[in-house]
Amino acid sequence: MIEGTRMANKSTVREFHLMGFSDDHDVQCLHFVMFLFIYLLALTGNVLIMLVVILNHHLHTPMYFFLVNLSLTDICYITTTVPKSMAVSLTDNKIITFPGCVAQVFLIVTCTGSEVALLTFMAYDRYVAICHPLQYSLILNWDTCNQMAVSSWVSCLLYSSLQTVITFQLNLCGPNMIGQFFCDIPQLQKISCSDTKVNEILNWIFGLLVGSFCIGFIFASYGYIISAVLKIPSVEGRSKAFSTCSPHLTVFSLFISTALFSYMRPKSLSFPTIDLLSAVSYAVLPPVLNPIIYSLRNKDIQAALWTLVSKIKKSFLT
């Protein structure tokens, strides 16, 4: 039951109980090991991407500047949810404090918005690079790139603050069991005895506006990109152009599809197992898969990684 006192028809919640993956000790240990492996894989992959770009001067371009920001966002994203879930499995203590829950909601919304914004900026970068190569350095200079990155973070922080305040103004007077392994807005709305229609409508409006704008912008960008690439006479040139675009398009498709399904599906499709799997798909998988996708599909990143590995080997041998 919810702990707290009721004042002015409001419940002051002191703690929530997160849903574990299982009550069986062996399964909990397995979950801890799997999430630890996933977390370390995500950290290693994203830190490597950041190091490779920072240490390789040939990669100091707007495309890889946004990629570093994406890796930083992914690290923050997965760190917000996975370590707490591992602690729950390891200690069997499913309690999360009220401030901890607020922090999770705030950071998740911030990272989700930042991820979408950065992926949209990266589509614009590819559009300018392929369709307007001679004006690339003029259109996407470093001042513009910094302004785009800062604007995405500031706007996401402001929206996240608004969304967090609106969510925790709800009268949380139901059972304090959150049906998820982290504090998620849809799950908090479920345990509220306030009317959440306004919150749900705001989520739908924002999701539709931002989702449709970003998806439309990216599809339009790739429409122009494909048209321009098909005009390139050499097969090698077309292949190189597509190879720089395919990782981004894959990453965006993975993230936006899972995020929209998690936040905008109707309540009739909300079941504990589906909620759990959808949360893993958009909050855990993208930070793990993003560096893998870019490493496998981007030849510049591959070459820079091998160079870094060779330098590390030489330093150990000497």
Token digits for 23?
A: 């009550």
Nearest in space to 109 (alpha carbons), one of 16, 46, 183: 183
Has residue 71 been placed in a domain?
Answer: yes
Predicted pLDDT at 20? 73
Predicted pLDDT at 263? 64
Predicted pLDDT at 270? 63
Q: Which domain holds residue 306?
A: 14-317
User: What H or E segment, with its residue span, contains residue 91?
Assistant: helix 62-91
Predicted pLDDT at 13? 64
- Specify whether the CB–CB gap between 152 and 229 falls below 8 A: no
Predicted pLDDT at 198? 80
User: What H or E segment, with its residue span, contains residue 131?
Assistant: helix 98-131
How many structural domains are present in the chain? 1
Predicted pLDDT at 121? 92
CATH number of residue 178's parent domain: 1.20.1070.10
The upper half-sphere exposure of residue 303, i.e. CA atoms within 13 Å in the direction of its Cβ, equals 7
177 pairs with which residues across the strands? Answer: 17
Nearest in space to 13 (alpha carbons), one of 101, 121, 139: 101
- Specify whether the CB–CB gap between 53 and 64 falls below 8 A: yes
Residue 4 per-residue DSSP state: S
Query: What distance in Å separates the CA atoms of residue 106 and residue 112, rounded to the nearest whole number?
Result: 10
| Residue 56 CB coordination number (10 Å) | 17
Has residue 5 been placed in a domain?
Answer: no
Region for 67 from its dihedrals, namely left if φ exceeds 0, alpha if ψ lies in -120 to 50, beta otherwise: alpha
Predicted pLDDT at 268? 62
Angle at which helix 272-283 crosses helix 285-297, to 10 degrees, equals 40
Has residue 29 been placed in a domain?
Answer: yes
Has residue 8 been placed in a domain?
Answer: no
pLDDT tens series, the chain, 318 aa: 334 434 344 445 678 888 877 777 888 889 899 999 999 999 999 999 999 999 888 889 998 999 999 999 999 999 999 999 999 888 888 889 889 999 999 999 999 889 889 989 988 998 998 889 889 989 999 999 999 999 988 999 998 998 899 888 888 776 788 878 888 888 888 888 777 788 778 777 887 788 788 888 988 988 888 888 888 777 777 777 777 777 778 888 877 777 767 666 666 666 667 777 777 877 888 899 888 887 777 778 888 888 877 877 777 766
Has residue 110 been placed in a domain?
Answer: yes
Strands 177-178 and 15-18 turn out to be parallel
Token digits for 44?
A: 């290693």
- Specify whether the CB–CB gap between 119 and 219 falls below 8 A: no
Residue 20 per-residue DSSP state: P
pTM for this prediction: 0.85
Has residue 235 been placed in a domain?
Answer: yes
User: Three-class SS string for 164-206?
Assistant: HHHHHCCCCCCCCEECCCCCCHHHHHHCCCCCCHHHHHHHHHH
Has residue 242 been placed in a domain?
Answer: yes
Computed from CA positions of residues 301, 303, 307, 312, in that sequence, does the dihedral angle turn out positive or negative? positive
- Specify whether the CB–CB gap between 167 and 185 falls below 8 A: yes
Has residue 1 been placed in a domain?
Answer: no
Query: What distance in Å separates the CA atoms of residue 86 and residue 1, rounded to the nearest whole number?
Result: 24
Residue with tokens 């936040």: 263
